[in-house]
Amino acid sequence: MNVGLVVEGNRDSVTYPELVHKIRSDIEAIRAISCGDVAKLKTRFVGWLKHFEWNVDLVVAKVLVIMDSDCSDAAVWETQLQQVFDQSRFHPRFAVHFHATKCELESWLLADENAVNEVARQRGKNKRVQAVTVNLETHRNAKELFQRVLSDAGLPADARVYQEIAAAADLERIALRCPSFRQFAQKVLAD
């Protein structure tokens, strides 16, 4: 099965595929499209869905449109995306799922300090970070906190590090600290 992703930014476009592959092992290829920011995602995702519909290079079985909720009600954002999609009157041959991550993607990456430490070790850093003690599903500055954790580990806050941490992450640990992660996993597993 092939999957398409429409996401906000460049870090998202390399991080979400790692998580999706870990959730669902039968995925052969993932094509992630970065819109640049949330405003562009909201106005351009239907165009990207059309791109997936007409692209003969990668026939997808489903597309996930993913944005951060910034700790607001994720269901409200998902409903807005669904309404835009419904108003477009576009009916692709593949399934479309909308997901607003509770707070930010960085909330999930903060959930497993062992993944951060593993990436630091692989990169030859002798620094270890401890688990953050904030409630990750209500902490409004997850991006800034994650960047501080990366700095403490001697890691740059670039897309490659995000991707490596996602690849090393324990999904059960993320789901334990961020229960809403299970909703994302359900959408990945859905047909």
- Residue-wise pLDDT tens digits, 142-179: 999 999 999 999 999 999 999 999 999 999 999 999 99
Q: Are residues 183 and 91 in the same domain?
A: yes
- Please answer whether residues 95 and 151 qualify as being in contact, where contact means their C-beta atoms are separated by less than 8 angstroms: no
Q: Are residues 59 and 111 in the same domain?
A: no
DSSP category for residue 136 = T
- Same domain flag for 71 and 114: no
- Across the range 16-38, mean pLDDT stands at 97
**What residue type is 159 in one-letter code?**
A
Residue 49 and residue 67 in one domain: yes
**What pLDDT, on a 0 to 100 scale, did the predictor assign at position 68?**
96
d(CA 25, CA 38): 28
Range of the domain at 62: 2-103+178-189
Together in a domain, 44 and 131: no
pLDDT of residue 191: 86
Q: Is 104 left (phi over 0), alpha (psi -120 to 50) or beta?
A: beta
What are phi and psi for residue 101, nearest 5 degrees? Answer: -65, 130
What six digits make up the tokens of 96? 């479309």
Residue 23 to residue 91: CA distance in whole angstroms: 27
Residues 91 and 168 in one domain: no
Given a cut of 80, whether residue 99 has pLDDT beyond it is yes
96 in Cβ contact with 66 (< 8 Å): no
The average pLDDT across 47-70 equals: 94
The domain tally of the chain equals 2
Planar angle of CA 77, 4, 71, nearest 5 degrees: 25
User: What CATH number does residue 98 fall under?
Assistant: 3.40.50
Check if the beta carbon of residue 54 is closer than 8 Å to that of residue 93: no
